[in-house]
Amino acid sequence: MSSFQEASAQPSDRILWKNLRIVPPGWQSGPIPLCDLAVEGQRIAWLGDAGGAPAGFQNAQQHDLGGALVTPGLIDCHTHLVHGGQRADEFALRLAGASYEDIARQGGGIVSSVRATRAADEDSLFQQALTRLDALRAEGVTAIEIKSGYGLDLETERKMLRVARRLGEARPVTVRTTFLGAHALPPEYTDRADDYIDLVCNTLLPTLHDEGLIDAVDVFCESIGFSLTQAERVLQAATQRGLAVKMHAEQLSLMGGAALAAQYGALSADHLEWLDEAGVQAMRHAGMVAVLLPGAYYFLRDTHLPPIDLLRRHGVPMALATDCNPGTSPATSLLLMMNMACTLFHLTVGEALDGVTRHAADALGCAGVSGRLAVGHPADFAVWDVDSPAELAYWMGLPRCRMSVRRGSIAFQSAR
């Protein structure tokens, strides 16, 4: 894998990518015309009919893609990629009948990952996360959001966010960090949730933001997480500092978190299995993205579907993400999430593809990523060894990504 770093160190100034077929947004069916794509530095400089590039690119370095399908680089817009250890034993307990909430209330669940994350040193956390990141990158991922939230104290939240930043330096991938201090109540604050929210708002958030470690702020608003009132305090503290906000909302019950997030101009509300029509409308009016996490739905054997038809009807864009985390979605395949979104949530292939490209970019506030292939946008794209875009959501595990390009340079190349 280290060869990619070398390959991407210096973007060649001008490159002409020839004979590709760019899957259009919202693809339904039908043939896709051949085109060429010219890159200058890190951005797309020209896009058009095969053979029609401006004279200035005719002598540029050229790569013939032989008619391959190309999509924007995939974007995983909701992950807990950095965490210590794993929770396979808890999975076994759930198979034997315990519920996720039971386990959380008995001191397992998120808090057991907090213990493991606190105990791990920074390099070990980095190595564990790097393995997961490389699995995602091998499927065309060029941008990823990474949350904190398994530290729940200053030192460990800082360690997690530093690891997230380091991952973005070690690999050619855009990393956006999200501070999720309000993920769970740390054991030392048992029965003192409001005091912990004080710590989050008055110490953790301002300190880590001043250290340049936070791009956005998230809250787990849930019966086993934080109340609406507590969540609102975190949103206030974040927006007062000009930080973008988002929320884990309506995953296990309808609490009104999505509507609250809308009042604060959130980028997204995520999970949303129990979202109602009022929440959908609030999200629409606030211009939010609905981030769907089919891996968690599947792994918890949930049966309560998110309101896909309401989201469609009200025009709320739907993004998809892995939610990669040790408790509810130990998933490192965004393509598998597309498959699950189609089979479990009844998304179309075009919706699933938009969900891991342009809508995922919007869920990140677009900062540095676009999820769209257009002139002036970052040259982030993935090249696929498939005949039809439907194959991207069809295979369950077959490696199909030939290569990815991020900011104009090759970021991943398959060994095939």
Task: Choose between 184 and 283: whose C-beta lies nearer to ligand DI6.
Answer: 184
Instruction: Report, in Å, the least distance between residue 316 CB and Fe ion.
Output: 19
Instruction: Show the tokens assigned to 330.
Output: 């130990």
Count the site residues for ligand DI6 by CB under 6 A.
13
Q: Which of 215, 323, 351, 362 binds ligand DI6 (CB under 6 A)?
A: 323
SS3 label, residue 394 = helix
Instruction: Report, in Å, the least distance between residue 323 CB and Fe ion.
Output: 4
**Nearest-5° angle of CA 92, CA 93, CA 99?**
125
Task: Choose between 233 and 248: whose C-beta lies nearer to ligand DI6.
Answer: 248
Indicate if the alpha-carbon torsion angle 360, 362, 364, 367 is positive or negative: positive
**Are the C-beta atoms of residues 82 and 125 closer than 8 Å to each other?**
yes
DSSP secondary structure, 133-160, as one string = HHHHHTTTEEEEEEE--S--SHHHHHHH
Task: Choose between 149 and 371: whose C-beta lies nearer to Fe ion.
Answer: 149
230 binds, among Fe ion, ligand DI6, none (CB under 5 to 8 A by kind): none
* DSSP bridge partners of 182: 219
The residue of the chain with the least Cβ separation from Fe ion equals 323
The residue of the chain with the least Cβ separation from ligand DI6 equals 327
With CA atoms as reference, report the closest residue to 144 among 267, 324, 275. 324
Task: Choose between 113 and 174: whose C-beta lies nearer to ligand DI6.
Answer: 113
Residues 6+ apart with CB under 8 A from 369: 73, 75, 142, 143, 174, 176, 361, 378, 380
| Ramachandran angles phi, psi of 313, nearest 5° | -60, -35
Per rule CB under 6 A, is residue 219 in the interface with ligand DI6?
no
113 binds, among ligand DI6, Fe ion, none (CB under 5 to 8 A by kind): ligand DI6
- Range 187-216, binding ligand DI6 (CB under 6 A): none
Per rule CB under 6 A, is residue 245 in the interface with ligand DI6?
no
Of 68-76, 105-113, 336-344, 360-368, the segment contacting ligand DI6 by CB under 6 A is: 105-113
Instruction: Report, in Å, the least distance between residue 17 CB and ligand DI6.
Output: 38
Instruction: Report, in Å, the least distance between residue 314 CB and ligand DI6.
Output: 24
Per rule CB under 6 A, is residue 296 in the interface with ligand DI6?
yes
Q: Which of 72, 73, 109, 186 binds ligand DI6 (CB under 6 A)?
A: 109
Instruction: Report, in Å, the least distance between residue 253 CB and Fe ion.
Output: 16
Per rule CB under 6 A, is residue 324 in the interface with ligand DI6?
no
Mark 149-188 with x for binding to ligand DI6 (rule: CB under 6 A) and - for no binding: ----------------------------------x-----
The order of strands in the sheet holding 289-292 is 74-76, 141-147, 174-182, 216-219, 244-249, 268-271, 289-292, 318-320
110 binds, among ligand DI6, Fe ion, none (CB under 5 to 8 A by kind): ligand DI6
With CA atoms as reference, report the closest residue to 249 among 306, 294, 166. 306
SS3 label, residue 270 = strand
Of 185-193, 307-315, 318-326, 336-344, the segment contacting ligand DI6 by CB under 6 A is: 318-326
Interface residues toward Fe ion, by CB under 5 A: 323
Number of residues written out for the chain: 416
Q: Which of 27, 179, 196, 220 binds ligand DI6 (CB under 6 A)?
A: 220
How many other C-beta atoms can be found within 10 angstroms of the C-beta atom of residue 278? 12
- Range 248-287, binding ligand DI6 (CB under 6 A): 248, 251
Q: How far apart are CA 272 and CA 54, in angstroms?
A: 47
- Max CA distance (Å), the chain: 69
Instruction: Show the tokens assigned to 347.
Output: 């998304």
Of 49-57, 255-263, 321-329, 362-370, the segment contacting ligand DI6 by CB under 6 A is: 321-329
The order of strands in the sheet holding 14-22 is 43-49, 35-40, 14-22, 61-72, 381-384, 401-406, 409-413
Mark 327-366 with x for binding to ligand DI6 (rule: CB under 6 A) and - for no binding: xx--------------------------------------
**Under the rule (CB under 6 A), what is the footprint of ligand DI6?**
109-110, 113, 183, 220, 248, 251, 296, 323, 325-328
